[in-house]
Amino acid sequence: MGLLDGKTTIITGVGRGIGKATAEVFVREGAQVLGVDISGAEKDTAAALGGSVVPCHADLTKEEDIVAMVAAAEEAFGRVDALVNVAGTIGGRGGQSSYLSAEEYDLMMPVNLRAVLLACQHGIEAMLRGGGGSIVNFSSVGGINVESMAPAAYMAAKAGVHALTKAIAVEYGRQGIRANVVAPGFTLTELVRDVKSDAIEALKRKSALGRPGECREQGEVAAFLASDRASFVTGAVIPVDGGWSAQLP
């Protein structure tokens, strides 16, 4: 028996990194997945994972793409049991010169917060049609406390994800919808696995466990939260950071 046997899910950001690994965990646990990305790599992920993943190309900064994403899931699977918002960006210039700037804010908010809000809005409508569901939103330890290497607007967007998710949990709990946050600490993705910069090496050492996270370790927690095993867990922000956020620097 898989943790997610028979569950129909939408996962964003499946092209690479944590989203891709989360899709792998969900399929392993028996879920059907609408795998969403802007890059085109959602097709590769679907091909690698077999018939349980239906690829969906979408730019989550566009509401019409989000509406189409939810419609595609309902068309493919008949209902939406879980929505997992992994897609995000830490792009932009970063650094002190733009630490507090409207430009940085405008780069960070569309994917990291606005897209999450809209995906939840339209995902909840579908979940209510099916009698309830579970939302898992990805943020960052930088949304809990400050990580000096991250852009300020990134951390503000991720803190916004925490408030948004708690608001959804409170508003929709009595209608059978749970909503929780996975807040990753530094996690090895394809992008950074082999990078040898001082900053990356410092990030790798931040956790209390003395190592960075693996993408699969994020997906495992998301799978639990999406499953019926977490039936009394809602409005929670769960750091998956090897204890990074537990310690003073």
Ligand X SMILES: NC(=O)c1ccc[n+]([C@@H]2O[C@H](COP(=O)([O-])OP(=O)(O)OC[C@H]3O[C@@H](n4cnc5c(N)ncnc54)[C@H](O)[C@@H]3O)[C@@H](O)[C@H]2O)c1
Which residues are catalytically annotated? 154
Q: Quick check: 143 and 185 in contact, CB under 8 A?
A: no
Q: Which is nearer to ligand X, 60 or 226 (CB)?
A: 60
Give whichever of 128 and 207 is closer to ligand X, judged by the CB atom: 207
Cα-Cα end-to-end distance for the chain? 42
Q: Cα(138)–Cα(180) distance, rounded to whole angstroms?
A: 9
- Judged by CB under 6 A, the stretch of 47-55, 68-76, 182-190, 224-232 that binds ligand X is 182-190
Tell me which DSSP letter residue 39 carries.
S
Residue 86, beta-bridge partner list:
none
Q: Minimum Å distance from CB 16 to ligand X?
A: 4
- The tokens 């999406």 sit on which residue? 226
CA atoms of 200 and 137, how far apart (whole Å): 25
Task: Please say which residue, 118 or 177, places its beta carbon nearer to ligand X.
Answer: 118
Query: The tokens of 233 are what?
Result: 């867990």
Using rule CB under 6 A, residue 207 touches ligand X: no
Diameter of the chain measured on Cα atoms: 52
Q: Check residue 55 for interaction with ligand X (CB under 6 A).
A: no
Q: Which stretch binds ligand X (CB under 6 A): 25-33, 57-65, 94-102, 221-229?
A: 57-65
140 near ligand X, rule: CB under 6 A: yes
**What binding mask, one character per residue, do residues 7-36 give for ligand X by CB under 6 A, x or -?**
-----xx-xxxxx-----------------
The minimum distance between CB 198 and ligand X, in angstroms, equals 16
Question: What is the token pair recorded at 181?
Answer: 């946050």
Q: Which is nearer to ligand X, 134 or 137 (CB)?
A: 137
Nearer to ligand X by Cβ, of 86 and 179: the residue is 86
Q: Under the criterion CB under 6 A, does residue 186 sit at the interface with ligand X?
A: yes
Q: DSSP readout, 70-104? A: HHHHHHHHSS--EEEE------S--SGGGSS-HHH
Q: Does 137 bind ligand X (CB under 6 A)?
A: no
Among 24, 25, 35, 37, the residue binding ligand X under the rule CB under 6 A is 37
Task: Work out the angle at residue 184's Cα, subtended by the Cα atoms of residues 176 and 84, and round it to the nearest 5 degrees.
Answer: 35
CB of 129 to ligand X, least distance (A): 24
Least distance from ligand X to the Cβ atom of residue 176, Å: 26
Residue range at the interface with ligand X (CB under 6 A); choices 94-102, 179-187, 194-202, 227-235: 179-187
Locate the DSSP E strands across 6-92: 8-12, 32-37, 53-57, 82-85
Dihedral (CA of 190, 42, 90, 245) sign: negative
Residue 9 token pair: 């899910």
Interface with ligand X (CB under 6 A): 12-13, 15-19, 37-39, 58-61, 86-90, 111, 138, 140, 184, 186-187, 189, 191
